[in-house]
Amino acid sequence: MVRAAVLGAFRRVMRARAVAFQGDEAALTQARSRIRDEFLKNRKLSDEKAIDKAVAIANDVEKLLLQNVMQARQTDSGTYRLRFTEHTKFNDNVPMKESA
């Protein structure tokens, strides 16, 4: 069961990487390498609590990649165009208090 959770987390993070960095081969390659290195670094973990913590971190990374990472590409006019996905999370702007 633990192995399945780890492999599932690995696959989900890799899919999130593909969504977050779509079309950017350099970022895709670097992210793949970093994700793989982090999972391999934890390969020898045997304590179930430590494994659960590592899987929880991987789940947080997946969420961060899907909800908070956006790509910006420069247009011909020199401005930037952001690429949002269906997973991108938008926070409401909170107006500042004038007394602050």
83-90: long-range contacts, CB 8 A cutoff, minimum separation 24: 83/22, 85/19, 85/20, 87/19
pTM: 0.79
pLDDT confidence bin for 4, thresholds 50/70/90: very high
Q: How many residues does the chain have?
A: 100
Write the pLDDT tens digit of every residue in 50-73.
999 999 999 999 999 998 888 888
B/e letters for 45-58, b = 16+ CB within 10 Å, e = fewer, are eeeeeebeebbeeb
Residue 99 pLDDT: 67
Sign of CA dihedral 72, 74, 79, 81: negative
Q: Would you give the DSSP letter of residue 76?
A: T
In this predicted structure, the answer to whether residue 94 has a pLDDT above a threshold of 80 is: no
